[in-house]
Structure 1
Amino acid sequence: MEMHDLCAIAGREPRCVLATAVKVEGHAYRKQGVSMLLTEEGAMYGSISPGCLESDLLARVDRVLHTQQLEFVEYDMRPEDDLSWGETIGCGGLIIVLLEPVCVELRSIMSHMHAYFQCGSAVVLTRSFNDQYTEIHYVIQLAEEADAVASNSGENDLQRHELTEAERWDLPLQISARYEPKPRLIIIGAGNDVIPVARLGISVGFRVVVADWRETLCTAERFPGVELVRGFPSEIMPVLNIQSVDYIVLMSHQFPREREFLELLEDRNYAYLGIMGSRTRTARLLNDLPPLKNLHSPIGLTIGADGPEEIAISIAAELIACKSAAVAAERRNLQRGIAHATDGHLASGR
């Protein structure tokens, strides 16, 4: 679960704690920078481990909410003879977890982050601690603004201080993390074969949008958890406001409407365009159109798929492959001491 999701959940959970792995050494299930939410009622969203740390973190929630004070927790699983973590630990490293009560300042910050994510913008969240690590201050910036500042300064914005209780962890007084919005998967068409594609799209980390002019098909009952846009191509295009990070799939099986959509897509930038149908149909669909960027047709990886569910899996697999390639390319462009976290954001290293 990504920060995009956690910010949305924090907006509806009145009493919750944000847990973040602020330091990871050695082998671990998740990487530095990943977060999860734990609620007073015992609900957990996201994960930091394969399940071995979460119950201990959950036991600390009441105290953190009662004191309204941040807390650091150390989990040192490096000793090979330490069997206290059980058989399901799945890791053998050192993890330092920061627990933060989601109260006035952090709640406001997460609300603003969610608004940026919904607009497709990446953000950088900076946590600044006092020298006793008892207080914290938050600042968010649009990622491009933070990148410009980092480029001009020529160094990472990490301040260190002689630590007291946390000295052995060597944590900086300021930690910055870059968080990416969930990429949008825009599916044109709301037929029955779209349902498993939308469901899998959500499960593999996309913000799914289904667009169709047939109102009886484009419903919340058929597509729970999906954003719906109703209208013909000329009507939905201004609403969709397609961006360079969007993934687009044509599955309406309506030749004239898909041709109309592709004509409107001609001058847009996007990350992926998949078209359902045979090579012959796609060739007719693209006839006389300028070459379209990032085109995948026939859509999906070749896995011998048969039927809507298996075809949806092949499409989801191709989307994952393309998304992973895009993340790897961005990671190469953002090295400057930044390590990639596995939940879709970039977290500053030491």
Structure 2
Amino acid sequence: MSDVDKLLDALEELATQEQEAVLATVVKVEGSAYRRPGARMLISQVGSAVGTVSGGCLESDLAKKAWWLTEHTQPVIRTYSTGIPGDEPGEEEELAFGLGCNGTVHILLERVRVGQPFLPAQLLRQVIREQRPAALATVISGTGEAAALIGARAAVSPSGTLLQNGSPAVLVGLLMDDLQAAFEYKKTALHRYKMGAEQIEVLLEYLAPPRKLVIFGAGHDAQPLVAMAKQQGWQVTVIDARSHFIRRERFPNADQVMHLSLEFGQVPSELTTNAAVVIMSHSYLQDRHWLAQSLNQRPSYVGQLGPRSRTERMLAEIPNSHSQPAFEQLHYPMGLDIGGDTPEVIALSLLAEITAHFNGRKGEMLKAREAPIHDAEPVTQH
């Protein structure tokens, strides 16, 4: 279960108990930090928390102070920095020293009230339920009178509907084009706008649906792969032509467990579109069958387990394999070279490569990376 799933479950539980909460959201990072904009933590009235906004440095302070910082009900920004000018040590310097990563983190704190619509939660639920992305814009700073807009929002839902929380029409008008563009660029970014004589800064989040993983093959080595992917909050489907393998009790955490015969088993294209496909049945006939189908669909990643020569033989037997739509997404042998041969290590290797692929990374050791670990969020001036 992902942090988002846990946070939404906690919100529902608090709502049934008619308890308020405070949502802490990372909205801006300068320099280095453990979590990036969009990371969220939910804080209950008793100080317990779900989710993280740092590597453990900030959570305690936020849990202690979130309620009195928001006692006037208006959203506020809490800023933590590794270096604060001044000679006198104090609480803020101690907090800054605790970060230890040479960065400044800006966190939005806002009350979640019982019985009142809360746009971020509403949008995240829709993204998960409909398996389609959304875009959310949040004002995080403003000059002059525009400072009162901190926390104001507008969004475009997965169905394309405009959603807002009573934000001024002039603000929504400023944001609309960039909200729509978020679906094309698929990136979270900071935008700065002029509103008359004032300026505002807006975090525009691209809210992606959970990643999809389709595993062809219900062997023992598929079980840890399902478990690890579900820990990341992915939507996981397991498919096999062998009825004695593809049983629900063997994959209790999978979202779907499907028995498809080789004679009649056509994989629904909606399952594999934009998904990561892993073929690991250890049956040559099955693997070739599923590989042929996967290459003819629109997955974002196709991985074939096994020796290179085995996959080359399959490709030679699949008509026009090299001209199929997904051939450029094919990885074989799949996985990162981390050594080991247990099912758990293999699952780790596969999931690491898929994650790197989705994030546009090479999966190399960080000590060999000359650029910063995290890509900086782009800033657009309007």
TM range (shorter): 0.7 to 0.9
Between the two structures, name the one with larger relative contact order (CA 8 Å, sep ≥ 6): 1
Cα distance between partner residues in 2 of 1:171 and 1:101: 25
Asked whether 1:91 is paired with 2:101, we answer yes
**1:220/1:45 CA distance change after superposition, 3 Å:** farther
The worse-fitting range, judged by mean Cα deviation, of 172-181 and 142-151 is 142-151
The one-letter amino acid paired with 1:180 is A
Cα distance between partner residues in 1 of 2:3 and 2:194: 26
Residue 249 of structure 1 deviates from its aligned partner by 0.2
Residue 98 of structure 1 deviates from its aligned partner by 0.7
1:48 to 36, 47, 53: 53
Q: Structure 2 matches for 1:159-238, cutoff 5 A?
A: 159=193, 172=200, 174-203=202-231, 206-212=234-240, 217-218=245-246, 222-232=250-260, 237-238=267-268
Cα distance between partner residues in 1 of 2:376 and 2:123: 17
Structure 1 residues without counterparts, runs of 5 or longer: 164-169, 329-339
State whether residues 7 and 50 of structure 2, in contact with CA within 8 Å, keep that contact through their aligned partners in structure 1: no
Q: What is residue 270 of structure 1 aligned with on the other side? A: 299
Asked whether 1:57 is paired with 2:62, we answer yes
**1:132/1:118 CA distance change after superposition, 3 Å:** same
Asked whether 1:250 is paired with 2:279, we answer yes
The one-letter amino acid paired with 2:99 is I
How many residue pairs align between the two structures? 328
Give per-residue Cα distances to partners, 1:125-162, cap 9 Å, x unaligned: 012588353774432215898558559xxxx8644579
Cα distance between partner residues in 2 of 1:98 and 1:327: 33
Residue 194 of structure 1 deviates from its aligned partner by 0.9
Residue 295 of structure 1 deviates from its aligned partner by 1.3
The one-letter amino acid paired with 1:210 is V
State whether residues 40 and 61 of structure 1, in contact with CA within 8 Å, keep that contact through their aligned partners in structure 2: no
The worse-fitting range, judged by mean Cα deviation, of 60-69 and 37-46 is 60-69
Residue 69 of structure 1 deviates from its aligned partner by 4.0
So what's the TM-score if we normalise by structure 1? 0.74
Cα distance between partner residues in 1 of 2:266 and 2:46: 41
Cα distance between partner residues in 2 of 1:31 and 1:300: 26
Give per-residue Cα distances to partners, 1:22-58, cap 9 Å, x unaligned: 2333333333343233334544333222111101111
Give per-residue Cα distances to partners, 1:254-290, cap 9 Å, x unaligned: 3333333333334311111111223343234331332
Please tell me the root mean square deviation across aligned C-alpha atoms, in Å. Answer: 4.2
1:139 to 109, 131, 154: 154
Asked whether 1:31 is paired with 2:60, we answer no
Residue 197 of structure 1 deviates from its aligned partner by 1.7
1:288 to 302, 306, 318: 318
Asked whether 1:113 is paired with 2:113, we answer no
**1:231/1:12 CA distance change after superposition, 3 Å:** farther
Give per-residue Cα distances to partners, 1:295-324, cap 9 Å, x unaligned: 112221233322212222221232232122
Percent identical across equivalent pairs? 28
The one-letter amino acid paired with 1:21 is V
Q: What is residue 9 of structure 1 aligned with on the other side? A: 9
Structure 1 or 2, whichever has the larger Rg, is 2
